[in-house]
Structure 1
Amino acid sequence: MQGECSSKCYNMFIIETVCVAWFSLEFVLRFIQARSKLEFLRGPLNIIDAMAILPYYVSLVVKEEDPDLAHERPGGGKGYLDKLGLVLRILRALRILYVMRLARHSLGLQTLGLTVRRSTREFGLLLLFLCVAVTLFSPLVHLAESELTGAHDFSSIPASYWWAIISMTTVGYGDMVPRSIPGQVVALSSILSGILIMAFPATSIFHMFSRSYQELKMEHDRLFKEECAAAAAAAATGELQEAGGEAGREDSAPPGLGLHMDKDSVHSLESLALLGKGSEAAGNNNHSLPAAAF
Structure 2
Amino acid sequence: MKPRKPSPKKPRYNEGEVLSPWRESLHSIIFGAETRPAKIFDLVLIISIVCSVLSVMLGSVSTLHERFAQWFFYSEWFFTLLFTVEYALRLISVRRPWLYCRSFFGIVDFLSIIPTYLNFLFPGIKYMLIVRVLRLLRVFRILKLSEYLSEAQILMQALSQSCHKILVFLYTVCTLVIVFGSLMYVVEGSEAGFTSIPKSVYWAIVTLTTVGYGDIAPQTPLGQIIASTIMIMGYGIIAVPTGIYSAELLKVGKMEEINNQACPDCGETGHDYDASFCKYCGHPLDSD
Q: TM-score, normalised by structure 1?
A: 0.55
Partner of 1:96: 130
Partner of 2:196: 156
Specify the code of the residue in structure 2 equivalent to 1:43.
S
Match of residue 182, structure 1, among 203, 214, 222:
222
- Greater relative contact order (CA < 8 Å, ≥ 6 in sequence): 2
List aligned pairs for 1:143-292, cutoff 5 A.
Answer: 143-146=186-189, 151-208=191-248, 215=255, 218-219=257-258
Offset of residue 137 of structure 1: 0.8
Partner of 2:52: none
The answer to which structure has the higher helix fraction is 1
Specify the code of the residue in structure 2 equivalent to 1:21.
L
Q: Does 1:131 align with 2:174?
A: yes
Per-residue CA distance 1:91-122 (angstroms, 9 max, x = gap) = 31321211222223254895566655554323
- Higher gyration radius (CA): 1
Offset of residue 136 of structure 1: 1.7
Partner of 2:26: none
Offset of residue 177 of structure 1: 1.1
Partner of 1:54: 114
- Structure 1's 22 and 116: CA in aligned 2 closer, same or farther, altered over 3 A? farther
Cα contact 1:126–1:197 (8 A) shared by 2: no
Offset of residue 156 of structure 1: 1.9
- Structure 1's 21 and 38: CA in aligned 2 closer, same or farther, altered over 3 A? same
In structure 2, list runs of 5 or more residues that go unmatched.
1-63, 141-147, 261-269, 275-288
Offset of residue 211 of structure 1: 7.3
Matched residue count: 194
Secondary structure of the corresponding residue to residue 88 of structure 1: coil
In structure 1, distance between residues paired with 2:76 and 2:226: 52
Offset of residue 152 of structure 1: 3.1
Offset of residue 26 of structure 1: 2.7
Per-residue CA distance 1:196-238 (angstroms, 9 max, x = gap) = 33322222223546777963x8326998977xxxxxxxxxxxx
